[in-house]
Amino acid sequence: MLKNIGKFIFMIELGLKYKKIFKQTFFHPFITLKYGYQELSLQRGNYSNQVLDFLNIKVNLHGELPQEDRILYVINHRSLLDILVMENIFLRYHKNGTWIAKQELFEDPIYGKFFQYSGCISVDLENKRGLLNFFKTIKKIFSKVDDMNLYIFPEGERFKGEGIHTFQSGAQKIAKANKLKIVPVYIQGKNEEVFKNAPYDEPYTVDVYVGNIIDHENLEEKYLEFYNSIEKKSTNE
């Protein structure tokens, strides 16, 4: 109990510190959109690494991120750890990008402004007008930021079952509308439990697998092929 309380106190206090850092960039009147996203990407990575260090969690990457940009990274979603783990990887590769997040996260009284000021882009899939504004926002960003990338959980929410939950249609639509290539990413393990049991006395390693570039056609089917190949290999080992 005390370990969990200490963990959340640390994350909230650090989050408040970084919310101020994000806000300075988010509202800066004289920087370009490209530089703004680059700076926010850097600071999100710094925040994530400090949390992972506190939790004593290491990230083991299988494969490599492509050097090119203008890519939509589609990632399975199990835990609060997922964004931290991926930001660790994106920082290693100096990637400029941001997360697509549900509108309800921006309305959270504790974390809402943290998500907003850190550069995340909100989407309300149930609101036609909001959806239209979302696609306009994405189009504007890609017209001004040539090294931009997007990160999304295509399952739509944390999935606690086995395997991969059914994809929502958003990821495929975003990739098609903006002519983005897609990179599938799989974070292995029951990481809700990993987060619950942190921080660790000895380093705990989370394994992340990166697939080859694919296109948007039959996205869920291609992702499942990627996932099944990893699970088959892990079982044989």
> For the segment 70-89, what is each residue's pLDDT rounded down to a tens digit?
999 999 999 989 999 999 99
For residues 178 and 68, the answer to whether their CB atoms sit within 8 Å is no
**Helical segments of 27-69, H only:** 33-55
> Is the pTM here over 0.85, yes or no?
yes
Q: What is the pLDDT of residue 235?
A: 67
Domain tally, the chain: 1
For residues 7 and 198, the answer to whether their CB atoms sit within 8 Å is yes
Q: What is the pLDDT of residue 2?
A: 62
Residues 6 or more apart whose CB falls under 8 angstroms from that of 17 comprise none
For residues 168 and 220, the answer to whether their CB atoms sit within 8 Å is no
Residue range of the domain that includes 64: 2-236
Domain of 123: which CATH number? 3.40.1130
In which residue are the tokens 């494969």 written? 63
**Number of residues that make up the chain:** 237
Q: What is the pLDDT of residue 83?
A: 96
169 vs 146: which has the higher pLDDT = 146
Dihedral angle, C-alpha 191, 59, 222, 169, nearest 10 °: 60
Which tens digit of pLDDT belongs to each residue from 151-199?
A: 999 998 888 878 899 998 889 999 999 999 999 999 999 899 999 999 9
Range with the lowest mean pLDDT among 8-12, 109-113, 123-127? 123-127
Residues 6 or more apart whose CB falls under 8 angstroms from that of 52 comprise 58, 59, 84, 85, 88
> How many whole angstroms separate alpha carbon 26 and alpha carbon 37?
9
> How many whole angstroms separate alpha carbon 78 and alpha carbon 189?
8
Which tens digit of pLDDT belongs to each residue from 33-73?
A: 999 999 999 999 999 999 999 999 999 999 999 999 999 99
